[in-house]
Structure 1
Amino acid sequence: MKSRIAFAFVAACAAALVAPAVGYAKSRSVTDPDAPRSLPAEGSVSVRWEDPAQFSEIRYSRNRFEARQGDWVNQLATYLRTRAQAQLPAGEKLDVDITDIKRAGDYEPWHSPQLQDTRVIRDLYPPRIDLTIRRTGADGRVIAEGERRLRNLSFMMDARMLNDSDPLRYEKALIDRWLRSELRDKDGA
């Protein structure tokens, strides 16, 4: 009887130790084959993207494993759609294809092994986002289309960013800056 209780106790302890590891076994990566490649259809703004493994953020990273982690492509796409829908004039539609992303900062593993997973933000690593857009009016007429290359070489000079802890703050600021310019009323309103 004691051996069955001891066995049950050991089995329960082993299960308790293994269960959390199962959750960690499948780490979320933007390059997962089952990860989305577009936002669900909703509202007047659609956002799509190709395989993030081809984005500069991953292809040219000094720590590709760490660069793939998380859900940052989906977060940026959701942010873009939310902000664009708030600014897009009524009746207009905006279709956006994200073709490339290079996040602000990079990994500098040569400093020490403890810092190989730390993104270092320096002015020589500015954020970049490339898009292809198509904006149509309520009548279906094309208002604007083509490629957009979002850049801000002075991204570290923005005082508003100093107290912001969002890891995507520089990319989101880049999107906001572009939307203000792209969706500005041509009549100056």
Structure 2
Amino acid sequence: MKTPITAALVLACLLAAGTAHARPGNNVADPQAARALPADGPVQVQWNDPSGFAELRQSRNRWEAQRGDWVVKLAEHLRKQAARELPGDQQLAVTLTDIKRAGDYEPWHGTRLDDVRFMRDIYPPRISLQFTLTDAQGQVIDQGERKLVDNAYLYGPTRLSDTDPLRYEKRLLDDWLRRELRQDRSTAGL
């Protein structure tokens, strides 16, 4: 009599432990997940609710598209790279308003490939963002909205050893930062 009860108790504990891993951080659309990086340094990055991002709205495998912490990783990369490019007395605030990652799921290949992201030129990375660049006194130097896209993402410079699943989106952000923060631009927004 004790064996079935013990087995049921062990099974219940295992199920509870298994669901503990499926908490915020594993789902970018979780309503309890953070929507900004903690304030730290001259670059602040926040983002809109990822459930409204094209990556989730247009995905052929929404469950797989919302897995992971890819929004946070992109925000952290943006902060790190912007801090390198930004002159010491300036501050940058960025809001990621939409993201469509490079590649897409193609369910017609069968269930064994449901979680495989196919990289084709018809699925370029796209990132929309709003930004404000200010000087040391808080005066606005530049601000605006940008819609970034890299239609030639498959043909750009990528090391064969680069296995980062966000390499195309990170390169898109890096290119934007170099253009936006370059010192020799003659007018805002060029």
Aligned partner of residue 173 in structure 2, secondary structure: helix
Deviation at 1:80, TM superposition (A): 0.3
Instruction: Give 2:86's aligned amino acid.
Output: L
1:135 aligns with 2:129: no
Instruction: Give 2:145's aligned amino acid.
Output: E
1:18 aligns with 2:18: no
- Greater shift in the superposed pair: 152-161 or 83-92: 152-161
What 5-or-longer segments of structure 2 have no aligned partner?
none
- How many equivalent pairs are there? 185
1:81 corresponds to which of 79, 82, 101: 79
Share of identical aligned residues, percent? 49
1:29 corresponds to which of 17, 27, 31: 27
Normalising by the residue count of structure 1, what TM-score does the alignment of the two structures yield?
A: 0.88
For residue 157 of structure 1, what is the aligned residue in structure 2?
155
Q: In structure 1, what is the Cα distance between the partners aligned to 2:168 and 2:108?
A: 24
For residue 174 of structure 1, what is the aligned residue in structure 2?
172
Instruction: Give 1:51's aligned amino acid.
Output: D
Q: Specify the structure having the higher radius of gyration (Cα).
A: 1
Change (3 A) 1:67 1:187: closer
Deviation at 1:21, TM superposition (A): 2.0
Q: In structure 1, what is the Cα distance between the partners aligned to 2:168 and 2:113?
A: 21
8 Å contact from structure 1 (residues 45, 94) kept in 2:
yes
Q: Deviations over 1:131-160 (max 9, x none)?
A: 111101123222111011111111111242
Q: In structure 1, what is the Cα distance between the partners aligned to 2:97 and 2:44?
A: 14
For residue 39 of structure 1, what is the aligned residue in structure 2?
37
1:72 aligns with 2:70: yes
Q: In structure 2, what is the Cα distance between the partners aligned to 1:159 and 1:89?
A: 27
Aligned alpha-carbon RMSD (Å): 2.1
Q: In structure 2, what is the Cα distance between the partners aligned to 1:69 and 1:124?
A: 23
Aligned partner of residue 160 in structure 1, secondary structure: coil
1:119 aligns with 2:117: yes
Normalising by the residue count of structure 2, what TM-score does the alignment of the two structures yield?
A: 0.88
Instruction: Give 1:96's aligned amino acid.
Output: V
For residue 146 of structure 2, what is the aligned residue in structure 1?
148
Deviation at 1:15, TM superposition (A): 5.8
What 5-or-longer segments of structure 1 have no aligned partner?
none
1:60 aligns with 2:58: yes
For residue 182 of structure 2, what is the aligned residue in structure 1?
184
Q: In structure 1, what is the Cα distance between the partners aligned to 2:51 and 2:166?
A: 18
1:98 corresponds to which of 75, 79, 96: 96
